[in-house]
A = this chain, B = another copy of it.
Amino acid sequence: GQLFKVAVLPGDGIGPEVMAEALKVLDAVEKRYDVKFERTHANVGGAGIDLEGRALPETTVNICKAADAILFGSVGGPKWETLPPDEQPERGALLPLRKIFGLYANLRPAIIFPSLTSASSLKEEVIAGGFDILVIRELTGGIYFSQPKGIDGAGRDRVGVDTMRYSVPEIERIAHVAFQAAQKRGKKVCSIDKANVLSTSVLWREIVINIAKEYPDVELSHMYVDNAAMQLVRWPKQFDVILCENMFGDILSDEAAMLTGSLGMLPSASLAEGTFGMYEPSGGSAPDIAGQGIANPIAQILSAGMMLRYSFGMVEAADAIDNAVAKVLDQGYRTRDIYQEKAGEKLVNTKEIGDAIIANL
A residues near B (Cβ < 8 Å) are 85, 88, 90-91, 95, 120-124, 126, 143-144, 146, 149-151, 155-169, 194-204, 225-227, 229-235, 247, 250-255, 257-259
Contacts and interface: CB of A to CB of B under 8 A. Distances in A.
Determine which residue in A195, A199, A227 has the highest number of CB atoms from chain B within 10 A of its CB, and name it.
A199
19 contacts: A91-B196, A121-B123, A122-B122, A143-B162, A143-B197, A146-B161, A149-B199, A156-B169, A157-B167, A158-B203, A160-B166, A160-B199, A160-B203, A162-B198, A226-B251, A229-B252, A230-B258, A233-B255, A234-B258
B229 A251 contact: yes
Contact of A230 (B120, B197, B203, B255): B255
A274 to B, nearest CB: 22
A166 B159 contact: yes
Given A160-B165, A161-B163, A233-B233, 7 more contacts: A91-B197, A143-B198, A155-B168, A159-B167, A160-B166, A225-B250, A226-B250
A196 B250 CA distance: 12
Nearest to A236: B121
Contact of A122 (B91, B123, B160, B232): B123
A83 to B, nearest CB: 11
A306 B212 CA distance: 45
As for how many copies of this chain the complex holds, the number is 2
A235 to B, nearest CB: 8
A162 B160 contact: no
Given A197-B144, A230-B258, A251-B251, A164 B166 contact: no
Contacts of A160: 165-166, 198-204
A223 to B, nearest CB: 12
